[in-house]
Amino acid sequence: MKDGMERINQLLDEYDFPLNAIQMVRERLGDWFISGGKPTDGYVWQQARYLENLIRYGLAERKAVIE
């Protein structure tokens, strides 16, 4: 994994998160990038860990795989 944004995108592709969680992460990262932050910064990884914790605590479900 190269940067936190790649991890976040991977998680969003694989899991269904509550809408308010997605909106919160989007707002936080938008503010971060507007202020000069980069995708490789620790703050972006912190947001990825937030999503991973939602999965860990059963607040997000894996998307169904259609074959």
Residue 35 CB contacts under 8 Å (≥ 6 apart), including other chains: none
pLDDT at residue number 1? 59
pLDDT of 66 reads 76
Name 61's bridge partners.
16
pLDDT at 6: 95
Three-point CA angle 37, 40, 46, nearest 5°: 85
Residue 45 has a CB neighbour count (10 Å cut-off) of 17
> CA of 37: how far to CAs of 30, 50, 56, 63, in Å?
9, 18, 27, 30
Per-position pLDDT tens, the chain of length 67 = 578 999 999 999 999 999 999 999 999 999 999 999 999 999 999 999 999 999 999 999 999 887 7
